[in-house]
Amino acid sequence: MMAWRLLLTRPAAEGRPLAEALAEQGYYGALMPMLEIRPLTPLPVLRVQAWQALDAVIVVSKPAARLCLQGLPPREQRVGLQWFAVGPATAAVLREAGLDAHYSAQGDDSEALLRLPALAAVLARPCPRILIIRGEGGRDWLADQLGERGAQVGYLELYRRGVPDYAANAVAQRLQAERLNGVVVSSGQGLEHLHRLAGSAWPALAAMPLFVPSARVAGLAHGLGCHRPINCEGASTAALVAALAVHSP
């Protein structure tokens, strides 16, 4: 049976450990990030009084988690504050810093987070105040849903997502030189950047199995002409490995 040889498009800080984890399972991963995480300078911070006024904080990504920890006030100034994370990997970053972040074990997206009983308990309070920590220009779906449930929602945006600078034929060369037979994307924006940067290589990429984290991103992939989007039902390494085990190149 042919082995998987995958183009990995996650940001470098996340792609390297993914490639190592895949290698341990016998899969080859060629890292070619399609997103660059660029922290804002200076990094925005909230006053202690603003933290104290909140009922809950939702952190949507690992970069957001790492950056927000840099400006976090001491624990005694955040008494009673509930923390939530989109996905277990983001929650792990917060938990390593001593924050008991809630997350859904049923999915790595905002839709799964919204179904959490702990978040429902926060939303049952009168006019709860919720802060979403993210990068610039993220999806507003979660904030809209929270607002419809009576919450006051604000954002703390800590980074920009940039497009890497590759030569015009870099993707095509990588596909040929490393004999790749599958692609992994972790977000809709990463997929859009891949489509933009692939150039003449896009038809070849679109014909390959494309591993995506959710039905939403699978829909975007279909719209861009991808023949075989595979929904891993999560963005974690475990979800990807499980999908690889039941599909063939």
Among 160, 178, 194, the domain-final residue is 160
Residues 195 and 94 in one domain: no
Q: Are both 119 and 132 inside the same structural domain? A: yes
Encode pLDDT of 51-62 as tens digits.
999 999 999 999
Please report where in the chains the tokens 């220009």 appear, as a residue: 137
On whether both 176 and 94 belong to a single domain, the answer is no
Mean pLDDT of all residues in 123-138: 94
Residues 106 and 187 in one domain: no
- Dihedral, CA atoms, 132, 138, 140, 145, nearest 10 degrees? -50
Whether 30 shows a pLDDT value over 80: the answer reads yes
Q: How many domains in the chain?
A: 2
pLDDT at 132 over 90: yes
Q: How confident is the model at residue 108 (pLDDT cuts 50, 70, 90)?
A: confident
What single-letter amino acid sits at 89?
A: A
Dihedral sign computed on CA atoms, order 120, 151, 143, 93 = negative
Domain that holds residue 27: 5-35+166-222+237-246
- Model confidence over 183-202: pLDDT tens digits? 999 999 999 999 999 999 99
In this structure, the answer to whether residues 46 and 121 fall within a common structural domain is yes
> 47 and 29 share a domain?
no
Residue 78: the pLDDT is 85
20 and 49 fall within a common domain = no
Mean pLDDT of the 113-136 span: 96
Domain boundary residue, one of 160, 177, 208 = 160
- Residue 227 domain-assigned? no
Residues 20 and 47 in one domain: no
The pLDDT of residue 211 is: 98
Please name which of 106, 81, 75, 61 lies closest in space to residue 234, comparing C-alpha atoms: 106
Task: Please state the rounded mean pLDDT for residues 4-24.
Answer: 94
pLDDT digits (tens, 9 = 90+) for 77-95: 888 899 999 988 899 999 9
- Would you state the pLDDT for residue 43? 93
> Do 204 and 138 fall into the same domain?
no
Q: Is residue 121 part of a domain?
A: yes
CATH code, domain with 178 = 3.40.50.10090
User: What pLDDT, on the 0 to 100 scale, is given for residue 79?
Assistant: 83
Residue 140 and residue 94 share a domain = yes
Range scoring the smallest mean pLDDT among 123-127, 137-141, 221-225: 137-141
Do 151 and 76 lie in one domain? The reply is yes
- Tell me how far the alpha carbon of residue 15 is from its chain's centroid: 12
Q: What is the mean pLDDT of residues 106-127?
A: 91
**Confidence grade of residue 1 (pLDDT, cut at 50, 70, 90):** low
Residues 202, 206, 212, 216: what is their CA dihedral angle, to the nearest 10 degrees?
A: 90
The last residue of one of the domains, among 160, 175, 200, is: 160
203 and 122 within one domain: no
